[in-house]
Amino acid sequence: MRPVQAFQLLSPLTDFVNMLIMYFVEIWNFLIFIGRVSGVVVVLVGAILWFTDVNPGRGKGLVASGILLSIVVQYFVIYPPSFLA
């Protein structure tokens, strides 16, 4: 078997893998977007609950968890998985 034929056999597989990686990148970017938006929303809702004295304990917890979520999302933005590199 010649090496040219082996390359032709592997070409559809590499195209398929590249297509899968492209879909993973799109899904990853969407998840990062959702994480950023939800972090902001959780902090805002927590601040409203906290500063209006509706439920200050729950509000403080939501603010803290929203900040933690934003930190985790930013970590994954700085250090993305290997399929994005």
Please give the pLDDT value at position 15.
Answer: 86
- Per the prediction, the chain carries an average pLDDT of 88
Percentage of the chain beyond pLDDT 90 is 69
Under 8 Å between Cβ of 45 and 64: no
pLDDT in tens, 7-24: 556 678 888 888 999 999
pLDDT in tens, 63-84: 999 999 999 999 999 999 887 6
pLDDT in tens, 28-38: 999 999 999 99
Q: Would the pTM count as exceeding 0.85?
A: no
Q: For residue 43, what are its two tokens?
A: 């902090």
Please give the pLDDT value at position 84.
Answer: 67
Round to whole Å and give the CA distance between 26 and 21: 9
Q: Which residues contact 73 (CB under 8 A, 6 or more apart)?
A: 32, 35, 36, 39
Q: For residue 59, what are its two tokens?
A: 């509000």
Q: For residue 23, what are its two tokens?
A: 């879909």
Place of tokens 């590499």: 14
